[in-house]
Amino acid sequence: MLLQNPPERLFMKLSELSIGQTGIITAVGGEGNLRCRLLDMGLIPKTCVKLVKRAPMGDPIEIRLRGYELTIRVEEAERVEVLAEQSADSKIATGGTKK
């Protein structure tokens, strides 16, 4: 079965996801201990993640992956690249373009 209007997908940083938006991790950056720590927390390529919420001042963020919630700093989330799915609601809100 083919979808008539498949969801648009965008490459972006994990920190750039909107609340409720999902994505698939494509790359984990960072060096040394930071990269190992991110990988140990389950942020590995091909893992599906969802941004659940942001703190009132924007940092940290809470994500859901592998059946659990994880809170990380925005600075750490900027090291993780995701292939994000843009929902119809976010297309309408942004006029169909990425802000």
User: What's residue 9's pLDDT?
Assistant: 67
Does residue 59 carry a pLDDT above 60?
yes
Cβ atoms of 36 and 88 closer than 8 Å: no
Q: Regarding beta strands 80-86 and 68-72, do their DSSP bridges make them parallel or antiparallel, or are they unpaired? A: unpaired
Edge-to-edge strands of the sheet including 22-28?
A: 8-13, 80-86, 22-28, 48-54, 61-65, 68-72
Q: What gap in Å lies between CA 38 and CA 85, rounded to an integer?
A: 22
pLDDT score of 77: 94
CB atoms within 10 A of CB 51: 22
**CATH classification number, 8-94, choose in 3.60.15.10, 2.30.30.90, 2.60.40.10, 3.30.565.10:** 2.30.30.90
Report the C-alpha gap between 82 and 43 in whole angstroms.
Answer: 10
- Span 43-53, average pLDDT: 95
Give this prediction's pTM: 0.76
- Would you state the structure tokens that stand for residue 62, as one six-digit string? 């809470």
* Amino acid 94: pLDDT: 42
- pLDDT value of position 86: 67
